[in-house]
Structure 1
Amino acid sequence: MQDCKVIALCNQKGGVGKTTTTANLGVGLAMLGKKVLLIDADPQGDLTTCLGWPDQENLSVTLQTQMKKVIYDEPIDPNAGILHHTEGVDLIPSNIELSEMEMTLVTAMNREHTLATYVNEIKGNYDYVLIDCMPSLGMTTINALVAADSVIIPVQAQYLSAKGMTQLVKTINKVKRQIKPNLKIDGVLLTLADMRTNFAKVTSEFIKQNYSGVIPIYDTVIPIAIKAAETSAVGKSIYEYDKGSKVAEAYAQFSKEVLMDGEKQHHKAKSTFSR
């Protein structure tokens, strides 16, 4: 399988629906016929828990295991540790041991490319690889950005959350300038939104005024709902847990947006190459 797209879902602020978005985008793309790998790049292991593996400490192979092998130049079995979810996505899990990676990466040779080296080993089997980043801009997140082709930024419909995007965008642009020239931002996704409130409307307007024309903004808005938060406790996507809900419909629409965007970029790249 060729032309795999690697997307980092990134925001240094926690609680913006990043992990929920990674899981439901992944399953949404799988429902559209794509082969999808999710990578949990957060030591808290929320994505791993969200997909039904809460006992992360007993997993024999995690992302930390594989990154450590890259650092010490040991052979990697690309299929080792991959977990298969019943809704058609695969997962590279994580646990608290990944927190050690921050310090290890500081002294590692070619440190920014450690995760990219691993991803390049496994991405040939997939159409999409989605990386759920930790809520910080440390070395593990930098690794995720270098491994990615593009970035999706989930932003909670709150003014301070939107305002905090500035530092994230600066970091992405710095990675682009210094390490990964072809890294791009696919778009900003407004999450946890109650568009009946003035607060959410002001946030939406703030993002459009400050970033429209610079960063794409997805048409889809993910509404706030208790059911969406509950999915992490049952190991299911929103499509299984609350089928037909507004949140499920929104994530299905978002998955189509991402797929259409990816296909447009692919056709554009092919036409440019063929000239």
Structure 2
Amino acid sequence: MGQVLVIANQKGGVGKTTTALNLGAVLTELGKDILLVDLDPQGGLTFHCGHEPDELKLTIYNALQNEDMTNEIILETNFGPDLIPANVDLAVSEMELMNTVARERRLTAILNPIRNNYDLIIIDGQPSLGLLTLNAMTAANQVIIPISCEYLALRGVDGLMKMIKKVQGQLNSNLKVNGVLPTMFDRRTNHTEWALKQIRDRFEPKIKVYNHIIYRSIRFAEAAEAQEPIIHYAKNIPGADGYRNLARELIKNNEI
């Protein structure tokens, strides 16, 4: 059965969507069958994959209501991976799922029938610790936590770690944290150097902090506007190399 990886952090703007998209693109180039899952009502991953979220009639919202619709909502991308899209309709799903039986396993019911079709399913989690994030953790085998190299980003991680421990103890004992991915590193400032040291001190040695640092670059924003992965739009920048090296490490460690 294929692996499920969730890119998680309750803080927005730390590179979750960028990581999901570019990791999926690199792994596809390396010969892996990848499914991307947009679990954020903002639909950023969906847009970045070349689809206009507000124009879609069927999204993951519909599959959460009826998992039999899963195959109907899967879209293709122009760079290889398949996509389960999202749009603003997803914003009301948490409220609607509150009284649903096995509400924390709705995403699991969507993904389990199609897991064998892919080497890896990558979930782009929403920036919160709500029911959708709980669903992602329950469905996943693995977690990668992107943290931007700044003080406020590090402060908010404790809540996420508490949720992971609760899921491991009550809902999904197979869930493991693969590692923490430092993002938005700006080598021109002392602050990011300090923040990176704080990230390593906070997590290591219990949780790995990847050496594949994602350097800040305006090219990431330009790639998003162009609806392309960074490995296609600006393939030679250090951030692109970071995602290539992360993908190779996941394969080397048999995490895919």
Both proteins in one fold, TM over 0.5: yes
8 Å CA contact 1:131–1:144 kept in 2: the answer is yes
- Indicate the residue corresponding to 2:31 in structure 1: 33
Are the counterparts in 2 of residues 78 and 121 from structure 1 also a CA contact under 8 Å? no
Matched, 1:105 2:93: no
Contact 1:6–1:148 under 8 Å retained in 2: yes
Question: Deviation of residue 77 (structure 1)?
Answer: 4.2
Candidates 45, 48, 54, aligned match of 1:47: 45
Structure 1 residue ranges without an equivalent (≥5):
71-75, 267-275
Q: Which runs of 5+ in 2 are unaligned?
A: none
Superposition deviation, residue 225 in structure 1: 0.1
Equivalent position amino acid for 1:90 in 2: D
Superposition deviation, residue 202 in structure 1: 1.1
1:248-270, CA deviations, whole angstroms, 9 ceiling, x for partnerless residues?
12211121122223x1x57xxxx
Cα distance in structure 1, aligned partners of 2:101 and 2:173: 20
2:209 paired with 1:217: yes
Q: 1:61 aligns with which of 58, 62, 72?
A: 58
Structure 2 residue corresponding to 1:156, chosen from 133, 140, 148: 148
Corresponding residue for 1:269? Answer: none
Q: TM-score, normalised to structure 1's length?
A: 0.90
Name the counterpart of 2:198: 206
**C-alpha distance in 2 between matches for 1:9 and 1:217:** 14
**Equivalent residue for 2:233, pick from 241, 256, 267:** 241
Q: Secondary structure at the match of 1:6?
A: strand
- Which residue of structure 2 lines up, in the alignment, with residue 136 of structure 1? 128
* TM-score, scaled to structure 2: 0.97
Deviation at 1:63? 0.4
Alpha-carbon distance in 2 for matches of 1:155, 1:222: 10
Question: 1:57 Cα shift?
Answer: 2.2
Q: Give the letter aligned to residue 208 of structure 1.
A: R
Q: Is the 8 A contact 1:60 1:81 kept in 2?
A: no
Q: Displaced runs of 4+ in structure 1, greater than 3 A?
A: none
The equivalent position to 1:114 in structure 2, one of 98, 106, 118, is 106
SS of 1:188 mapped into structure 2: strand
Q: Count how many residue pairs are aligned between Structure 1 and Structure 2.
A: 256
CA distance, structure 2, for counterparts of residue 231 and residue 123 of structure 1: 29
**Percent sequence identity over aligned pairs:** 39
Are 2:17 and 1:19 aligned?
yes
Structure 1 CA distance for aligned equivalents of residues 251 and 65 of structure 2: 32
